[in-house]
Amino acid sequence: MVILKTTREIAKMRNAGRISQRALQEAGRAVQPGVSTYEIDCIVRDYIEKQGATPSFLGYGGFPASACISVNNVVIHGIPSKNHILKNGDIVSIDVGAKFEGYHGDNAWTFPCGDISKDAQALLDATREALFEGIKNAVAGARIGDIGHAVQQYAEARSYSVVRDFVGHGVGAKLHEDPSVPNYGIPHRGVRLLPGMTIAIEPMITQGTHKVKVLDDGWTTVTADGMLAAHFEHTVAITSDGTVILTSAD
């Protein structure tokens, strides 16, 4: 069931979104060769807790950290570790959520570590732009399929693949609500987008196959062919005055 939010609830979600985005930016600034993914997770947790908020992911379904940190061929749900030291040339996807006054924000960004290859940079650029194509199509009166179609078309036109096994989602008092927001789809199909809907749009785009596998830890999700993946996400609110990015810093 899709839960529509009031203007007042959306204002609260804007606060949660702002904290989530600032935590993500703090994490991104820390990405450099020689830093462990555990250190970045600590930065995220400290920042969120200092704002009087709670890291949404910590303990969610048993997840052991505040941020998912997914490097290179890891698509999503990478577990931060003291033993994982970032190297020059890595691409580092960081997914962060914060709960504040009862509502969640959820966002992700893939950061370059030092100097990355042209191919890696092109993947980052395409995935970020695919996210904004999705957001552009997330307007009242459109349908969920319009978002996924826009993302898919943008990515596949550049010979990338769209991960199917994981999708975006509604966000609110719960981190994951209805509807599902796939990054693929058919125009004019699926749930109609209404003012008051708050959703996370989060393309996961790969260089090779769209197929992924989950490692034995039950979380770490990697590309089946070992090629690079990128992940960008914003939580947005659909309103009668247009679509608002809730996970924005200012």
* Interface contacts to Mg ion, rule CB under 5 A: 106, 200
Could you give the C-alpha distances from 115 to 44, 52, 87, 142, 212, in angstroms and in order?
A: 23, 35, 10, 40, 26
Nearer of residues 114 and 218 to Mg ion, judged by Cβ: 218
Nearer of residues 13 and 200 to Mg ion, judged by Cβ: 200
Least separation in angstroms between residue 183's CB and Mg ion is 12
Nearer of residues 106 and 177 to Mg ion, judged by Cβ: 106
Least separation in angstroms between residue 95's CB and Mg ion is 7
Coil, helix or strand at residue 53:
coil
Nearer of residues 56 and 161 to Mg ion, judged by Cβ: 56
Residue 47 in contact with residue 54, Cβ under 8 Å? no
Residue 97 in contact with residue 55, Cβ under 8 Å? yes
Nearer of residues 116 and 127 to Mg ion, judged by Cβ: 127
Least separation in angstroms between residue 88's CB and Mg ion is 29
* HSE of 136, CA atoms in CB hemisphere, 13 A: 10
Coil, helix or strand at residue 46:
helix
Least separation in angstroms between residue 83's CB and Mg ion is 26
Least separation in angstroms between residue 117's CB and Mg ion is 27
